[in-house]
Amino acid sequence: MNSSDSTAAGRPHEREGTMNRFVLRLGLVAAACVIAAFVPGLLPNLFYVHIANLTLISGIFALSLWIIYSVGQLSLSHAAFAGIGAYASALLTLRLGIPPIFSLVIAGLLTATVAALLGSVILRLRGVYFVLVTFLVGQMFTLVALNWQDVTNGANGLISISPITVLGLNFGPRPMFFYFAFGMFMATLLFTWALTRSTFGRAFNSIEQNIDLAEICGIDTARYQVVAFTIGSGIAGVGGALIAHYIRYISPDTFTFHNSVAYITMLVVGGRSLFWGAVVGAAFLTPLPEFLRDFEGLQRIIYGAIMILVLRILPGGLISIPDKLARLGGRK
Amino acid sequence: MRMKLLTLSVSTIALATAANADTMTVGLVAPLSGGGAAWGTAMKGALELAVKDINGAGGLEVGGTTYNIEIAAYDSHYNPNDAVTAVNRLIYEDQVAFIVGPLGSAPLAALVPVTTENKKITITGGFTPIAVAPEHPYSFRAVLPTQIYAAPQINYVVEKLGARKVGSLFPNDETGQTMSNDIASAYEAAGADASAVDYYERDRVDFVPLLTRLLAQGIDTFELDGSPPQTAGLLVRQLRELGFEGNIVRTGGDATNDILAVARPDASEGLYVHMEYDGSLPSAQEYQQRYVDAYGGTMNAFSPLFYTTINMIFEAMQAAGTTEDSDAIVAEMAKMSDFEGPAGKANWMGQEIWGTARQQYIPYAIGVVNGGVPQVIATCSLDKCE
């Protein structure tokens, strides 16, 4: 049997395997949706629904940051792009009366445009230089938000931002917002998954692994990096807009350098190697301070200690737990 | 046997529920760490002392039920995001009767939609007009904002010190910008030049570059405004280290003890400070002694102000005969006047300014630090200090 025969024989198997994996993933998504439908009713009270909502939004931020990380860049301006989206959506709603559901989309596109323009310049830098420039972008956002008072209302922030309504359905109350945030989170998750499996995803991965080699192989690394930065920042803009319409108040304090660091921490603690590490990181770190809130004064110390412990024991992040356990069990 | 166990379990749950019905939780959300901690801990101390008084007297009797009071206190870190999460927990998880806090304008603006929606009374220290806006009928303010006392106090100080050019540094946030407008316009109206202004981030500790720039503009007076207590102390120390020999004035929330602790008394000598109330009152000194005995160290003057408003709410609950109907409690609070507290008689004001009367007013004073102790040199009304 020649090689072409064996390839032909292998194809039905491969197709079957691919189909099985697809069905399994579809089943997982369907199961997640079914479980989510009951979550607001199962949680003890609205405080937990609020935490679930914040966790979903954090998941969107962490996933979008992972997209940028997947081309080997670490952005410290992620909160700034979330802020641009938040201010854009809030202002479109407050000043022009555009319904929040449309302003969310416009905010995402606007943020992506800003990121594309900025990215085409700053993505020529690599490593620590890129990180430093994104830090400055974050600081510039804060200064503009503070000092462009006619538009942003300065440090006073924007109040009374409308909640999201779709076809008369009000997503302002916490349980209703949960469903909206869950939908947005799932859309981001599925998009990120599809992206990783696309030509773009494979190019992103090769750039992250070895940018010089990727370039030699003919991959337009500059273009792909701008694309990843644009997509990631655009999604962050939508996430920021979600916060604006959920909390219904934003100020420059809502999107600071500390928030950008928090998103990076989610990636690191969850695990950077796979996109769902970002989800695990967000799900672990967003509610954690609330569990520690009773330890008044020690809250930040315990939080820090847990982080150090996780990173010391699991340098690959929380998603490496199964591998670690398997190794401990002697199966690897 | 199984039936007996079930009956026992149900009885235990019923007893536990009955016991909970007689417990009322009061929430606190304030900065308990970081730059504003001096104010936050003073608020917490006020709540703890008020609760200790009531529980010590057998509880709060409202509508035939006696309530033992518990406290749920969370750190806002002076941050709007943290304050919103904390207040969600206080309302939905702890089911508090009312909330002491938040401090700071941005945290207040962020959480007031949630407290209004849930009809929770808040006692805030935020200087933003949102704190007493008509659309937030459950929000009360215990501390006078600079908008009220800036003009009378600055008029007095400018006349007394002959200040011509005033320099000031404000926190770069909503509170700082609100104060900046109030204070700068008051100095201008009093005939002083207050154009030497700069802003700083709240976590900053090295002010030498900013102060050097201000000193180069030839200022003869430095305004500490409402900078957080420890920050104000650092500003005084660094100003004196840079050789500034002019007057230093504090037209902002009480920070005198922290300034003295951080800058040391010799650097603070002659400092003009805003006093939230007349500290020479025997009731004020008695409260301060009680606070120091309980917590050690020094007391921030916000404490007796919050202690007064907290007691007004407890008394209003008794008068309304309910701990849950916030509208009835607010209506009873509105009727109160000349309420005796450790800082003096408290009344509501603000109808002409904000269209509501939910601002607590206690006559305030101006003091000068003399030998490491602030001495009252003028007592003030809404119009003037003398």
Nearest CB among A50, A252, A299 relative to B88 is that of A50
- A266, A27 in Cβ contact below 8 A? no
Token code pair at residue A230 = 């644009």
Q: At residue A307, does pLDDT exceed 90?
A: no
Residues of B in contact with A249 (CB under 8 A): 80, 109-110, 113
Token code pair at residue B45 = 């101390």
Arithmetic mean of pLDDT, A41-53: 94
How many helices (H) and strands (E) chain A has is answered by 15, 4
Given CB atoms, is A50 within the 8 Å cutoff of chain B? yes
Band of the pLDDT at A147, cuts 50, 70, 90? Answer: confident
Q: What pLDDT does residue A10 have? A: 54
Band of the pLDDT at B182, cuts 50, 70, 90? Answer: confident
A154 contacts B174? CB cut-off 8 A: yes
User: Which residue from B196, B271, B207 is spatially nearest to B242, judged by alpha carbons?
Assistant: B207
Distances (CA, A) of A231 to A1, A101, A103, A111, A226: 47, 19, 18, 9, 9
A155 contacts B173? CB cut-off 8 A: yes
Band of the pLDDT at B172, cuts 50, 70, 90? Answer: confident
Residue type, B103: L
B110 contacts A45? CB cut-off 8 A: no
Distances (CA, A) of B311 to A242, B25, B118: 39, 15, 22
Is B80 buried (19+), middle (13-18) or exposed (0-12) by CB count in 10 A? buried
Percent of chain B with pLDDT over 70: 95
What rounded mean pLDDT belongs to chain B? Answer: 90
Token code pair at residue B216 = 């180069």
Q: How far apart are CA B111 and CA B91, in angstroms?
A: 11
Band of the pLDDT at B3, cuts 50, 70, 90? Answer: very low
Q: How far apart are CA B328 and CA B317, in angstroms?
A: 8
DSSP B167: E
Band of the pLDDT at B1, cuts 50, 70, 90? Answer: very low
Q: At residue A289, does pLDDT exceed 90?
A: no
Q: How far apart are CA B361 and CA B66, in angstroms?
A: 30
DSSP character string of A90-135: HHHHHHH---HHHHHHHHHHHHHHHHHHHHHHHTTS-HHHHHHHHH
- B124, B341 in Cβ contact below 8 A? no
Q: What is the pLDDT of residues B7-44, one digit of tens each?
A: 444 444 444 444 445 899 999 999 998 778 889 999 99
B130 contacts A157? CB cut-off 8 A: no
Q: What is the pLDDT of residues B44-90, one digit of tens each?
A: 999 999 999 999 999 999 999 999 999 999 999 888 888 999 999 99
- State the nearest Cα–Cα gap between A153 and chain B, in angstroms: 10
Question: The tokens 């417990």 sit on which residue?
Answer: B23
| Same fold? B2-144+281-349, B148-275+365-380 | yes
Q: How far apart are CA B86 and CA B380, in angstroms?
A: 36
Cis peptide before B102 (omega within 30 of 0): yes
If one compares B253 and A100, the residue with the highest pLDDT of the two is A100
Nearest CB among A45, A154, A253 relative to B93 is that of A45
Q: What pLDDT does residue B36 have? A: 83
Token code pair at residue B312 = 């007004």
Token code pair at residue B370 = 């003399």
DSSP B94: S
Is B348 buried (19+), middle (13-18) or exposed (0-12) by CB count in 10 A? buried
What rounded mean pLDDT belongs to chain A? Answer: 90
User: Which residue from A191, A175, A233 is spatially nearest to A53, judged by alpha carbons?
Assistant: A175
Torsion, Cα of B151, B154, B158, B159 (10° steps): 60
- State the nearest Cα–Cα gap between B177 and chain A, in angstroms: 7
A115-129, A166-180, A296-310, B92-106: range with lowest mean pLDDT = A296-310
Token code pair at residue B239 = 């100003």
Domain positions in chain B = 2-144+281-349, 148-275+365-380
How far is C-alpha B298 from the geometric centre of its chain's CA atoms?
16
- The CATH number assigned to the domain with range B2-144+281-349 reads 3.40.50.2300
Q: What pLDDT does residue B173 have? A: 77
Q: How far apart are CA A83 and CA A65, in angstroms?
A: 14
Q: Which residues are bridge partners to B361 per DSSP?
A: B347
B109 contacts A249? CB cut-off 8 A: yes
Given CB atoms, is A291 within the 8 Å cutoff of chain B? no
Token code pair at residue A216 = 């030699």
Q: At residue A292, does pLDDT exceed 90?
A: no
Given CB atoms, is A247 within the 8 Å cutoff of chain B? yes
Q: At residue B345, does pLDDT exceed 80?
A: yes
Q: List, in order, residues 6 or more apart from B348 with CB less than 8 Å away.
A: B333, B334, B336, B337, B357, B358, B359, B360, B361
Band of the pLDDT at B6, cuts 50, 70, 90? Answer: very low
Q: What pLDDT does residue A91 have? A: 97
DSSP B338: S
Q: What is the pLDDT of residues B91-116, one digit of tens each?
A: 999 999 999 999 988 899 999 999 99
Given CB atoms, is A251 within the 8 Å cutoff of chain B? yes
Given CB atoms, is A300 within the 8 Å cutoff of chain B? yes
Q: Counting one residue from A and one from B, how many pairs have CB atoms under 8 Å apart?
A: 83
If one compares B194 and A290, the residue with the highest pLDDT of the two is B194
Q: How far apart are CA A84 and CA A145, in angstroms?
A: 9
In this structure, the number of other CB atoms found within 10 A of the CB of residue B364 comes to 26
Distances (CA, A) of A99 to A60, A163, A168, A224: 22, 9, 11, 33
Assess if CATH 3.40.50.2300 describes domain B148-275+365-380: yes
A48-52, A81-85, B343-347, B370-374: range with lowest mean pLDDT = B370-374
Q: What pLDDT does residue A297 have? A: 67
User: Which residue from A78, A54, A53, A76 is spatially nearest to A232, judged by alpha carbons?
Assistant: A78
Band of the pLDDT at A310, cuts 50, 70, 90? Answer: confident
- A246, B85 in Cβ contact below 8 A? no
Nearest CA in chain A to B128: A156
Nearest CB among B92, B109, B175 relative to A45 is that of B92
Q: How far apart are CA B188 and CA B192, in angstroms?
A: 5
Nearest CB among B91, B93, B106 relative to A251 is that of B106
Q: Which helix (H) or strand (E) holds B208?
A: helix B208-215
